[in-house]
Amino acid sequence: MNPKLDRRKKYTRMVLKDSLISLLSTKQIAAITVKEICEQADINRSTFYTHYKDQFDLLRQIEEEIIADMNTYLSQHNFSEIEKSLQTTERLLEYIVSKSDICNVLLNENGDTSFERRVMEVARSFLITTWMDCQENDAAVSEYISTFIISGSIHVIKHWLANDMDKTPQQIAQIINSIAINGIDQNS
């Protein structure tokens, strides 16, 4: 394949993704049209349809990339020790900082709620198979505990993103891990 063509395809997809993310910051996906995306990207509609079926397909592709990145990232770490759990949470938050524009939009009220559920499933699978294995709970209890911890963590991250990341990833990781390990009673 011609390298110029490959670069052009990558550029086109990047511009389309950036345009959709920009539009999602102010509108819900159902209210965004392919025409709007193309106008913002300065690309004609036939080019759009060469790459994606519709705006929902484009959003799904963006979400797939983030989920794949998160899976790859989390697979590289071991949650079995508290110190490593804190470091991994910090690194995951640093990843979110590096993709803050996309993560903020995908997790805000204009984003697709399925993305948040998918992020929760990724986190749950890692939490149950690693950290929760260290606990003395049966599988059903572990699932409820992990749901509680993950839901709370995602909402903390959403709040943090909405506040322009007013704390460092290390501070947020400390808050999340402290609550996950000690609960709300900070005197434990």
How far apart CA 41 and CA 110 sit, in angstroms, is 20
Terminal-to-terminal C-alpha distance of the chain: 60
Residues near 181 by Cβ (< 8 Å), separated by ≥ 6?
A: 82
Spatial separation of the C-alpha atoms in residues 123 and 126, rounded to whole Å: 5
Q: What is the pLDDT along the chain (188 residues), one digit of tens a residue?
A: 566 668 889 999 999 999 999 999 899 999 999 999 999 999 999 999 999 999 999 999 999 999 998 888 777 766 555 556 777 788 888 888 988 888 888 888 777 678 888 888 877 776 655 555 555 556 666 677 778 888 888 899 999 999 999 999 999 999 988 887 777 555 54
Q: Quickly list H helices, 27-138.
A: 34-41, 45-51, 55-75, 82-98, 100-107, 113-129
pLDDT at 93: 87
Residue 96 to residue 70: CA distance in whole angstroms:
9
How far apart are alpha carbons 75 and 61 in whole angstroms?
21
What global pTM score does this model have? 0.77
The per-residue pLDDT for 50 is: 95
CB count within 10 Å of CB 42 equals 8
Residue 188 confidence (pLDDT): 46
